[in-house]
Amino acid sequence: MNKLLLFTFALVSVSETLAQLESGENVIISNKVGHDLYVAGGTVSVNAPIEGDLTVAGGTITVTDTVAQDILGAGSNLILNGYVGDDVRCAGGTIRLSNNVTGDVIITGGTITIDESAIINGDLLVSGGRVILDGEVKGSLKSASGELIFNGKVQRDIDCRGGKIAINGTVVGNTIVAANTIELGSQAHFNKDVTYWNNEGSLDFGNSLHGGKARFDSSLEPDSGKWHFLGFASFLLLLWYLGTALMMIILIHYFFGGTFKKAADSVKNSSLKSLGLGFLFVVGVPIAIVVTVITVVGIPIGALALIAYVTILLLGTVIVALLAAHWINNTYYHSAWQTGRVVLIAFCIFVFLKLASLTPFVGPLVMALLACMAFGGILLNVKWKRNKEVAIT
């Protein structure tokens, strides 16, 4: 049964045979990794090829060698200098991409730089306070930022919104651009139609139009003129979301840390039983609630049960992350971690799970399996007290 647990975690976070887990204050990967790599640390340096996915969370993250598949990362500073064989999904304070990416790039952060040496063969979806695009995007570009400086080239359409947008590059497809301020440099080049909005109401395109026309569209004006909120909206929302998740991990560990430690052992030793019990919980509780609310007396009880059930589901990723941290601690470190380390690793796993869940079909499916397994492991360690019969004399 332990093999089932290992296989499941291999798809998302931890595996003995298909993935490698590294953590610590300063993690340096200097040897080739022939499978997926999962790393959490204060400072992370990946200086060797990774033949699978790289999932990483930390303070400063530097990738200097090839990653054959996806990069999923979150940190204060991310420096991606290596070739990426598939997609990149990252969030951070400062992000710099300097090499080629075969797939799509989805990034959000405070300051984001796509260097001239970088070629993105898929689409680029970017949101941040300040975005600098000097490289080439073979697909389309969608951007929402406080400031966008575009000096590169986009082979397909672009849709860019922001406070200030400066264009001094080439757009081969159609262009939609809306900002308080739009600046066009001498190297700006549009091959097709341009639809725009700015505060001035008009814009001199000079010699930048080649094969298309420019049209002012008042419908592109945002509801609020405060464009500086747009650039930081997604980043601040991300920080708020991650902060809330961290707080929930701390609170749940404080009140139920002992239960989660025992539940991790139950999942390890009885993975199928945990999975089955968790599945019955997820499916059976809604049925029980419906049966309860059929009677008028049962409506208040059913409403409270529904609120509790939905709350547990919403906290599913937090619960899975915390249980996974205890599982790693129990299995590999013999429960030697202190509270701070457990919380930190749980938070990193939470980020891993959220990024991995973006993978179509497989991500949500594996997340559901992990949630059922976690719920089942916890239920196996709940002490169901039975009232003792009292003899009446």
Q: What is the CA radius of gyration of the chain?
A: 25
Instruction: Look at residue 282 and tell me if it is in a domain.
Output: yes
Q: Identity (one letter) of the amino acid at 168?
A: N
Is 261 within the bounds of a domain?
A: yes
Report the C-alpha gap between 112 and 87 in whole angstroms. 17
Three-point CA angle 43, 46, 48, nearest 5°: 155
Token output for 173: 């497809």
> Is 310 inside any structural domain?
yes
How far is residue 355's CA from residue 144's CA, in Å, rounded to a whole number?
20
Residues with Cβ within 8 Å of residue 267, at least 6 apart in sequence: 5, 274, 323, 327, 373, 374, 376, 377
pLDDT of residue 243: 66
How far apart (Å, rounded) are the C-alpha atoms in residues 224 and 70?
A: 37
For residue 371, being part of any structural domain is answered with yes
Q: Do the beta carbons of residue 49 and residue 30 sit within 8 Å?
A: no
Q: How far apart are CA 100 and CA 33, in angstroms?
A: 20
Q: Would you say how long the chain is, in residues?
A: 393
Q: Under a CB-based contact definition with an 8 Å cutoff, are residues 122 and 136 in contact? A: no
The answer as to whether 161 is a domain residue is no
Q: Of the candidates 90, 12, 16, 117, which has an alpha carbon nearest to the alpha carbon of residue 369?
A: 12
Task: Yes or no: say if 35 and 53 are a contact pair by the CB < 8 Å rule.
Answer: no
Return the HEC string of 130-179.
EEEECCEECCCEEEEEEEEEECCEECCCEEEEEEEEEECCEECCCEEEEE
Residue 91 lies in a domain: no
Range of the structural domain that residue 308 is part of: 230-379
Q: Could you tell me if residue 26 is inside a domain?
A: no
Tens of pLDDT, residue by residue over 115-145, are 999 999 999 999 888 999 999 999 999 998 8
Does 117 fall in a domain? no
User: Strand, coil or helix: what is 221?
Assistant: coil
- H or E stretch at 112: strand 105-114
Beta bridge partners of 167: 150, 184
Total number of domains in the chain = 1
Helices (H) and strands (E) in the chain, counts: 7, 17
Q: What is the pTM assigned to this prediction?
A: 0.63
pLDDT tens string, the chain, 393 residues long: the values are 344 444 444 444 444 344 566 766 788 999 999 988 878 777 899 999 999 988 887 778 999 999 999 998 877 889 999 999 999 988 878 999 999 999 999 888 889 999 999 999 999 999 888 999 999 999 999 998 889 999 999 999 999 998 899 999 999 999 999 998 999 999 999 999 999 999 888 898 989 999 889 999 988 887 654 444 444 455 556 666 776 777 788 788 888 888 999 999 999 888 889 999 999 998 888 888 777 767 655 566 767 777 788 888 888 999 999 999 999 988 888 888 887 788 888 888 888 888 777 777 777 888 889 999 999 999 998 776 555 444 444
